[in-house]
Amino acid sequence: MAESLGIEGIQSNNPAEYPNTGFNVIILDGTWHQARVLFNCNSFLHSLRCIKLESAGRSQYVIRTQPTETCLSTVEAAAILLSRLEHDPSIHDRLTRPLRTICDYQLNKGAVTHQSKEYLITNGLYERPLNRRLKKKVNQQMDNNN
């Protein structure tokens, strides 16, 4: 599998660092589980360099439960990536404005703001049984906090 690259590593304004004229971006859209399955089932994707978004902040997609506090929707991740690649912060706002509008509309019609699954689990508010993977992850986080 190709090494991941932090997004900060591709923000250079120096074209000599990237002799190609641009980047090809593949964004997997779906639930977190679906995206993971898509990635794992396509060995071609394993040969490509991945970009990691580190500490991008909380998701604005508040009407849906995210796996963790740092998970973003597809449009939010794409907006961050494209605004940084193009060195134009306004791209982020233009791409995420419809998401904020949808969330505001839903909240005004009675929807509620969701906390992440991570938050619910760590605060004892998660009502479903935990599968083995989640139990292991929670235990690791608790060990790291102690």
One-character DSSP codes across 2-51:
PPEEEGGGG--S-GGG--SS--------S-HHHHHHHHHH-HHHHTSPEE
Angle at 118 between CA 59 and CA 55, to 5 degrees: 45
| Residue 98 vs residue 66, higher pLDDT | 98
Express each pLDDT in 80-97 by its tens digit.
989 888 889 999 999 999
Q: What are phi and psi of 98, to 5 degrees?
A: -60, -35
- Using an 8 Å Cβ cutoff, are 91 and 83 in contact? yes
* pLDDT given at position 32: 82
On whether the CB atoms of residues 140 and 146 are closer than 8 A, the answer is no
Average pLDDT of the chain is: 82
pTM above threshold 0.85: no
